[in-house]
Amino acid sequence: MYFKKSQMNSQNISEVRHNFDKDGYVFLPGFLSEKDVDAINYKLREFIETKVPDMPFNHVFYEDKNNPATLKQLQDLHLYDPFFDGILNNSEFEKIAEVLLGEKVIGKNLEYFNKPPKIGKPTPPHQDGYYFMLNPPQAITMWMALEYVDEQTGCVRYIKGSHLQGMRPHGKTETLGFSQGITDYDEKDFSREIPFPAKPGDLLIHHAMTIHRADGNKSDSRTRKALGFIYFGESAKEDLEAKNAYQKILSEERTTKESLK
Ligand SMILES: O=C(O)CCC(=O)C(=O)O
């Protein structure tokens, strides 16, 4: 449904896979048409108005919880609406994930990201695999721009080849929705980053071990909206005990913080 089929003939599929294996990410400009992105944005506006008020707090994050205009993240959209389920599962996105991981995949999460103007916080440098707790770390994240995104509004930045260099140490951050960041990220890392400004419908795909981050939104008026897709390879085993324990800590911390306000 949401896919320019002509973009993926067998020749460029193998080129895309080659680049993904080598660099740890690929950039597919114009993956969705303007019309398709408009349809998603329309649906998202409706969803935010009608469904978000009833969603549990661990699926809805605001920069300022007293101001709905500062919505920054939604989790598991596919569980709330068949429209979003159809984007994550049995879709052309899923097919690409299977090609790039070389195995069947399971759609785990469809997320909405925004960085509201002026107050949208930076995304700390991290490797998704640290959050996923998988063995082997066979997983993929896709990030699709829903509007123009540039360095001022906080585009995604990758470190090429970092997926081949192991897991870096992570520690707690103060960023809601990205609670863990690389603790020894230094000048050398900053200098190796490649920024990816994007227009609506451009798709970025990275491996779970690829280091990435994004700046905050420094613009006075522009938002920075995107969809995030997470797929696990079927060979990847989740350490469920560690994951549930971690989720429990996060929920408790959030409840305590909110009750202190
Ligand atoms: O939207 C962002 O700032 C980054 C998203 C991200 O880091 C991710 O999906 O893993």
Mean pLDDT in residue range 32-41:
96
pLDDT at 259 over 70: no
- 98's enclosing H/E stretch is helix 92-101
Query: Residue 1 pLDDT more than 60?
Result: no
> pLDDT tens-digit profile of 139-178?
999 999 999 999 999 999 999 999 999 999 999 998 888 8
224 lines ligand 1 (CB under 6 A): no
Q: Is the CB of 143 inside a 6 Å radius of any atom of ligand 1?
A: yes
Confidence bin at 130 (pLDDT 50/70/90): very high
- Span 118-128, mean pLDDT? 96
CB atoms within 10 A of CB 116: 22
For ligand 1, whether the C-beta of 128 sits within 6 Å is: yes
Q: Which structure tokens are listed for 27?
A: 């950039």
With 0.95 as the threshold, say if the pTM is over it.
Answer: no
How many angstroms is it from 177 CA to the middle of ligand 1?
A: 9
| pLDDT given at position 142 | 98
On the question of pLDDT at 17 being above 60, the answer is yes
CA of 156 to the centre of ligand 1 (A): 7
Query: Does residue 79 have a pLDDT over 90?
Result: yes
Token output for 44: 């998202």
Ligand 1 atom index nearest CA of 178: 7
Estimate to the nearest angstrom the gap between the alpha carbon of 17 and the chain centroid: 20
Average pLDDT of the segment spanning 69-79:
96
Average pLDDT in the 83-103 region?
A: 97
Placement of tokens 């202190």 in the chain: 260
72, 74, 109, 141: which to mutate for ligand 1, most atoms within 8 A of CB?
141
The b-or-e profile of 62-92 (16+ CB within 10 A means b, else e) is bbebeeeebbbbbbbbbebbeebbebbbebb
What distance in Å separates the CA atoms of residue 180 and residue 173, rounded to the nearest whole number? 5
For ligand 1, say whether the CB of 215 is within 6 Å of any of its atoms.
no
Q: Which band of pLDDT confidence, cut at 50, 70 and 90, is reported for residue 258?
A: low
**How far is it, in rounded angstroms, from Cα 121 to Cα 218?**
9
The predicted structure's pLDDT at residue 260: 42
- What is the pLDDT at residue 216? 97
Percentage, residues of the chain above pLDDT 90 = 82
Our mutation pick for probing the ligand 1 site, out of 113, 179, 230, counting the most ligand atoms within 8 A of Cβ, is: 113
* Confidence class for position 244, pLDDT limits 50, 70, 90: confident
Cβ atoms within 10 A of the Cβ of 167, count?
A: 13
206 in ligand 1 pocket by Cβ < 6 Å? no
Cβ–Cβ under 8 Å, residues 171 and 181: yes
How far apart are the C-alpha atoms of 149 and 29, rounded to whole Å? 13
Please give the pLDDT value at position 203.
97
Look at ligand 1, atom 7, and give the residue with the nearest C-alpha.
213
Per-residue pLDDT band at 254 (split at 50, 70, 90): low
Query: What number is the average pLDDT over the span 215-235?
Result: 98
The greatest distance separating any two alpha carbons of the chain, rounded to the nearest whole angstrom, comes to 57
Closest to 223 in 3D by CA, of 144, 113, 123:
113
Give the E-state strand segments of the chain in sequence order: 25-28, 60-62, 71-74, 105-113, 123-126, 134-135, 139-145, 156-159, 170-172, 180-182, 193-196, 203-207, 212-214, 226-233, 237-238
